[in-house]
Structure 1
């Protein structure tokens, strides 16, 4: 019980520090009425979206809870509701502070980068620490009360359901607004980014928050919880009846607590210093956090009296290193200072077709180092665990926990991105001086890099997490092998492999349909509101916000239903072996598509920004127009379909694992 209390206290400390950071951020001044007005518009739009999202989630959650109640009992049903609620509360807190910090960052930017940067980063810290705090408290309480990791699986499934809706819905919302604002504002009327005359600017800024704060937070909350639960299930199964069996179940909770402590200390090192380089400050914080976590892990495995400490320490470190490497691989392919982005920007002189070809090709190329990194981490974790007498499946699973343990720091850096992006919008809307906007630009550049690194990190984390969940599924249904000569397994592999591209197609088509409505509305306002283009009359931003909100939630229905039900249908029709093949196929194509779309989209975005900084003719040039087309194609790649695939494969793996025993007993055919 002592170690459970330690984990519980760590979660509470995380929430307490998040509350302190919230109060500090809210105490920062904002004395510009124009910026405050813009910020309030973003707050109202975000609140309206969250209200509708939570209403939709509530209806879906009640249905799923009733199914779990009759299928698995009240304990799992309760865990499901609490899991979805904890994820929602963490997302709400993060969104609440993010939409209020933007104007405060912009006001602080008047005094320079060193004043503005801490406001943006600590506002992001509220989200990061809320995610890990609520997750660890929820998991630990359920283990203290029920003592059964299978019950906590319901908590994880609840978090996954919300993550699927929040990430996919947020992605559709943000790209509907972003594409509409770019196509009409930039291409047709030659307006700058965040120009207050553009009717879609407020919706675009709201989208940054619902996609990259609430959405990404829910996504990593989902992977964070799923990785811990998978290890707890494997620990309870593989080490049942041994002298140290309980230690292997408790280990992921204690590692999560160590990760919170490392993140809190790492945040103290996030300072721009004399270099005035926010990107370097964020990277320093991440590296320090990783080093501290590795040291704390060593302490945890010995304090728990694990009989084979090195067999869990080295796989944990392997997962941690893989997360950092995969994140910085994404940075190389999307960084404005690297060759892939600059080469693609140069290709814009030829036209949009070559921009798209180059970006897509670099996206394909970026798959190689990321997949190699995941494979190396997986093999290293397996071999190192086996070398010290621990099951390789447990080693791979604990590597996922190692990668995700520093989530507090990772999500803080990620949430910083949309906050400072919104700050630039506030500065533009408030008519701030060029120097203030330039400071916001530097903060935003670091934020874009942080978001790219986090997307890579999230993909790598999802990869190891679903491998851990696959092992948990195999243990749950007693699946000892998958024979590719079995037609049922092959059918499962193909159907599972089909799901990520199908899900991507549905979400990207959703963005296209909604963006078309947004474009027509923006054109209508420029055509019918006298003086709008001249800046003499304000746009009706609320109509654009409403189009994005209604469209995002409407388009979620089909992808959500497919992802939640198809694994169960495959299992009931074809049996547990076919379902195992289904999960394997979805993992492979899901990770590959996620890497491709995240990195290609980020590359197109920064190629456009590279030209906007003055290269190849600058804004308004033919190269710029070609780059905007590439960026428009990349928007739903990197912010809608790509990141949602992490959640998709996790949700399907959890659905198979939680309903596994029932599926096995109801299977019509067992091929």
Structure 2
């Protein structure tokens, strides 16, 4: 489709190029990681069992849900047909659903696969250099992020370029496909990993007195397989679903704004494209911080890079909102969103970092028995939840206040 707005057409193609660039960057990172030594010996044999188990689990899971996917694709096709929708919309909705399924599954599978492959390389690199181990582990995780950014941005943008004002009808299928796979992989993988974890602990620590994650316990391999399928594949699909749904909802609201202006659809896509570029810069900076700043602390290095990416994003959002949209309210809303993410990051670090007070207090609570440990852990969990809810509420209120006096759709858009 050729749009009548020259700048917007160029902007859309730049978003597509950025999405493809994110995928190319993920491929380059994977290539770099796979060049590192794998090592040999006992660690390799355990890793090989984990890799085979994780792949076998995902293969079985996809076989289990393929029939459900086919049925829902036909249902989405006929959901448009029965109300007299154009054939192009009916076919597009079903195809977008399948694309969402494929993209979500791909993010989960490749994210998990690279996590497994990165594990053994981090073990080998950590014997030689802290910087190398940090570089491999962080870039392995970045692959999942780049796949999420690239595929989510690419899918949403292409659908809009093809269907334009009819895009909301088709984007629904794209969002639903990603959500479906995320549900299966996150919930299924989560149940599996908890069952394997508890089973391994019961037979190892309780019955045999073997330490946790000891390779002498065969169930540990199943436990670590669960960590990969639940915490890597499941989490990756879940993040893709969240990313995809926010793009879809922003585009639908942008199309619903009256009077119609394409800039409200282009803006969230450009925001995501900026996020891709700032993430790439942040990724490369992780292993470049001087030792006097990070002092061998991986948390500190990642924190600094996260703050750098956030600063680049906020500055770019201001330029975009001021010179393209001509409305600084959308800049304020996006900036608040970035600060929300920074807040989550700081809270999580405070409550999970071994060098911080909450973890130290919980460790001391274990000296008096399991009861105080459970109560201490539960209270910390509640405390984190309340803090996160508070900053989410503050963000929503702030975003709503920025659009005081505007229409309900515009307020939701913000």
Q: Same fold (TM over 0.5)?
A: yes
| Alpha-carbon shift at residue 324 of structure 1 (Å) | 1.5
Aligned residue for 2:325, secondary structure, equals: coil
Q: Which of 311, 314, 319 is the aligned partner of 1:291?
A: 311
Residue in 2 aligned with 1:53? 61
Query: Number of aligned pairs?
Result: 391
Map residues 67-466 of structure 1 onto 2, 5 A cutoff: 67-72=75-80, 73-147=90-164, 148-239=167-258, 241-242=259-260, 245-271=261-287, 273-274=290-291, 275-303=295-323, 305-307=324-326, 309-386=327-404, 390-391=406-407, 394-395=410-411, 397-398=413-414
Deviates more, 1:41-50 or 1:56-65: 56-65
Q: Is the 8 A contact 1:383 1:392 kept in 2?
A: no
| Alpha-carbon shift at residue 334 of structure 1 (Å) | 3.1
| Alpha-carbon shift at residue 238 of structure 1 (Å) | 1.9
Q: Is the 8 A contact 2:250 2:265 kept in 1?
A: yes
Aligned residue for 2:319, secondary structure, equals: helix
The verdict on how the C-alpha distance between 1:393 and 1:332 changes in structure 2, with shifts beyond 3 A counting, is farther
Deviates more, 1:103-112 or 1:345-354: 345-354
Which whole-Å deviations, capped at 9, do the CAs of 1:251-274 have from their partners, x for residues lacking one? 111111111011011112112642
Distance, in Å, in 2 between the alignment partners of 1:321 and 1:67 is 41
Residue in 1 aligned with 2:15? 7
Residue in 2 aligned with 1:602? none
Aligned residue for 1:348, secondary structure, equals: helix
Map residues 557-572 of structure 1 onto 2, 5 A cutoff: none
| Alpha-carbon shift at residue 390 of structure 1 (Å) | 4.6
Q: Which of 39, 56, 62 is the aligned partner of 2:70?
A: 62
The verdict on how the C-alpha distance between 1:56 and 1:300 changes in structure 2, with shifts beyond 3 A counting, is farther
Deviates more, 1:350-359 or 1:8-17: 350-359
Which whole-Å deviations, capped at 9, do the CAs of 1:554-599 have from their partners, x for residues lacking one? xxxxxxxxxxxxxxxxxxxxxxxxxxxxxxxxxxxxxxxxxxxxxx
Residue in 2 aligned with 1:666? none
Residue in 1 aligned with 2:43? 35
Distance, in Å, in 1 between the alignment partners of 2:33 and 2:246 is 32
Aligned residue for 2:286, secondary structure, equals: coil
| Alpha-carbon shift at residue 191 of structure 1 (Å) | 2.4
Q: Is the 8 A contact 2:254 2:413 kept in 1?
A: no
Aligned residue for 2:37, secondary structure, equals: coil
The verdict on how the C-alpha distance between 1:85 and 1:162 changes in structure 2, with shifts beyond 3 A counting, is same
| Alpha-carbon shift at residue 34 of structure 1 (Å) | 3.1
| Alpha-carbon shift at residue 369 of structure 1 (Å) | 1.7
Q: Is the 8 A contact 1:311 1:390 kept in 2?
A: no
| Alpha-carbon shift at residue 19 of structure 1 (Å) | 0.4
| Alpha-carbon shift at residue 397 of structure 1 (Å) | 4.3
Distance, in Å, in 1 between the alignment partners of 2:406 and 2:335 is 16
Distance, in Å, in 1 between the alignment partners of 2:359 and 2:42 is 35
C-alpha RMSD of matched pairs (Å): 1.8
Alignment gaps of 5+ in structure 1: 399-671
Alignment gaps of 5+ in structure 2: 1-8, 81-89
Higher relative contact order (CA 8 A, sep 6+): 1
Distance, in Å, in 2 between the alignment partners of 1:349 and 1:43 is 37
The verdict on how the C-alpha distance between 1:276 and 1:117 changes in structure 2, with shifts beyond 3 A counting, is same
Map residues 572-587 of structure 1 onto 2, 5 A cutoff: none
Q: Is the 8 A contact 1:311 1:395 kept in 2?
A: no
| Alpha-carbon shift at residue 353 of structure 1 (Å) | 2.5
1:20 aligns with 2:25: no
| TM-score, normalised relative to structure 2 | 0.89
